[in-house]
Structure 1
Amino acid sequence: MIGNADEFQKLAKDNVDVAMRSFGTLSRNFQGIALDTADYSKKSYEDGAAALEKLMSAKSLDKAFEIQADYLRTSYEGFIAHATKLGEYYVDMTKDAYKPFENLAAKAK
């Protein structure tokens, strides 16, 4: 139990410090996610443009289907890899954001 105003102020300061560390972690992780998503979007656009160029220069219908199938396969694989990476980012972010609160929860017991 909190005995006096000084203890209450220290507890409040500790809680604010913990929250700020957690928010800092969240902010850094969201920046990483945003940068990675921007890189993925740029690469996806470039790959699509390259596939369209190849498709427009195809000499036969069979070659066009082959180009389209290759693009769809690589696009799907890229998306799955990116989605997996984002999932890992979110799991790590959650763990990192919770760490400052672990000691706080232990003190409350």
Structure 2
Amino acid sequence: MVKVEELQQYGKEHLETVQSGLQAIASAYGDYTKKSFEDTKSLVEKLSGVKSLDKAIEVQTEYAKSAYETFVAESQKIAGLYTDLAKQTFKPLEGMVAKFTPAATH
């Protein structure tokens, strides 16, 4: 039989796990946003010093390639954080289910 204290402890641990995971995700989004802003600022600075259309196209092409690569990498990182959060969130449930489920007799 599961005690109320065990359920409360599970709830507390579960909440801490979720909060920690969400904090990591929010931090990753913040880091990506900051990097994106800095990269865009750098692009504007580079474009302001360009003297020819060819050079402007080259700078913008480099920026687009870099921005895409950063987006893909950061998206994979954030997706991994969501996956880890889901795994961490449901892992304690295995133990709780085992406590609620009567042992099978053979």
Q: TM-score, normalised by structure 2?
A: 0.89
Q: Which residues in structure 2 correspond to 1:67-78 (within 5 Å)?
A: 67-78=59-70
After superposition, give the CA deviation of every residue in 1:40-94 in whole Å (9 maximum; x if it has no partner): 1111101100011111111110100010011011001111111111110011011
Q: Which runs of 4+ in 1 moved over 6 A?
A: none
* 1:45 paired residue number: 37
1:15 to 4, 7, 11: 7
Richer in helix (by share): 1
After superposition, give the CA deviation of every residue in 1:8-49 in whole Å (9 maximum; x if it has no partner): xx6222112112111101101111111121111111101100
Q: C-alpha root-mean-square deviation of aligned residues, in Å? A: 1.2
| Identical-residue share of aligned pairs (%) | 36
Q: Which runs of 5+ in 1 are unaligned?
A: 3-9
* 1:27 paired residue number: 19
Deviation, 1:106, is 0.9
The alignment covers a number of residue pairs equal to 101
